[in-house]
Amino acid sequence: MQEIEIIKPDDWHVHFRDREILKVVVPETTRNFARAIVMPNLIPPILNGKQAILYKERINKAIPKTDNFEPFMTLYLTEKTNKNDLEEAYNNKAVFAAKLYPAGATTNSDSGVKDIKNIMPTLEKMAKIGMPLLIHGEVTHNEVDIFDREKVFINQNLDFICKELPELKITLEHITTEDATMYVNQGNQNLVASITPHHLALNRNAIFVGGIRPHNYCLPILKREKHRKSLIKVATKGNKKFFLGTDTAPHFTSYKENCCGCAGIFNATYCMSILAQVFDDYNSIENLEKFTSLNGSNHYGLSKNKTKIKLLKRENPIVFKKQIKVGNDSISVFNPNFPVYWEVI
């Protein structure tokens, strides 16, 4: 049996939602992660420092007493965001970063930005004060194929922002394509990217194996194998511009198994096991710590976590639980459907 010890990971992209879902999903993250950047796309979204502080209090109440965990809050950028309020919320440490959603790109993104040019003064302010910008990098025009939306966003929007504001700290979140790995790799040093466990584990066939698989539907949608391979390459090499952001995104099972199923994969529960398996399969287990625990905190100028976690490679694959109960409904737990031998102990 093989055992490894790594610095406790951070999750630089998480959806905790609110109310009864929040209470059951927060402990799934705090068990194995020391810190997380929390997405602001609630209904209604987190638009100012005051709302972020109240949301953080609700999260803190849901953290088990045995876990040491710090949530980093974010603001949802709109074309009406006041740049002085944003600066104040950042300086007061009410928020850590701001999130840019193109209008309509994913779950609860209707208030998002229609035209990047309308928020350039806000982005200039962020560059000046050193506040990180997190981007859901997909265009939303109906005429652009859903599998091409990340690539088109890079060409039409991200390139513009990076050229205008090279000093702005940007995370292109949950990247899915070779186009993104290449662009970020060649980009300036302030441009980095996060990658999810499900985009490392699966290609787009997984949405359609033997029938339609609603639990493998997420946005950005899974891509071709050549794109997955490109993500694998940068992650397993320990490339410092790429790090973990799980995009764990719970929905009720009844909302996923539906004629109009929600986008989002809830992967918090077995995230570290799945990642260890993927890195092991590519003979790169020694680089897991860089991806989950070092590269992200380096980019954000934060210190390393002081505690560690241990993972053990079992002789038999671990048995995944299928669901977590929430009231009369449940949240379905991501299972990549290949044998996973690594367990956090």
Q: Which residues are designated catalytic?
A: 247
Q: Which is nearer to Zn ion, 162 or 265 (CB)?
A: 265
Asked if 221 and 151 touch (Cβ cutoff 8 Å), the reply is: no
Report how far residue 239's alpha carbon sits from residue 100's, in angstroms, rounded to the nearest whole number.
25
Asked if 139 and 149 touch (Cβ cutoff 8 Å), the reply is: yes
Q: Which stretch binds Zn ion (CB under 5 A): 23-31, 89-97, 231-239, 240-248?
A: 240-248
Among 206, 132, 222, which Cα is nearest to 171's? 132
Query: Max Cα separation, the chain?
Result: 56
Among 321, 341, 220, which Cα is nearest to 273's? 341
Q: Which is nearer to Zn ion, 11 or 247 (CB)?
A: 247
Q: Which is nearer to Zn ion, 138 or 247 (CB)?
A: 247
Among 10, 11, 178, 247, binds Zn ion (CB under 5 A): 247
Q: Which stretch binds Zn ion (CB under 5 A): 25-33, 119-127, 140-148, 242-250?
A: 242-250
178 forms part of the interface with Zn ion (CB under 5 A): no
Q: Give the interface size with Zn ion as a residue count (CB under 5 A).
A: 1
Q: Which is nearer to Zn ion, 14 or 311 (CB)?
A: 14
Q: Which stretch binds Zn ion (CB under 5 A): 97-105, 111-119, 143-151, 247-255?
A: 247-255
What minimum distance in Å lies between the beta carbon of 261 and Zn ion?
16
Q: What is the 3-state secondary structure (H, E, C) of 200-261?
A: HHCCHHHHCCCCCCHHHCCCCCCCCHHHHHHHHHHHHCCCCCEEECCCECCCCHHHHCCCCC
What minimum distance in Å lies between the beta carbon of 109 and Zn ion?
10
Residues lying near Zn ion in the complex (CB under 5 A): 247
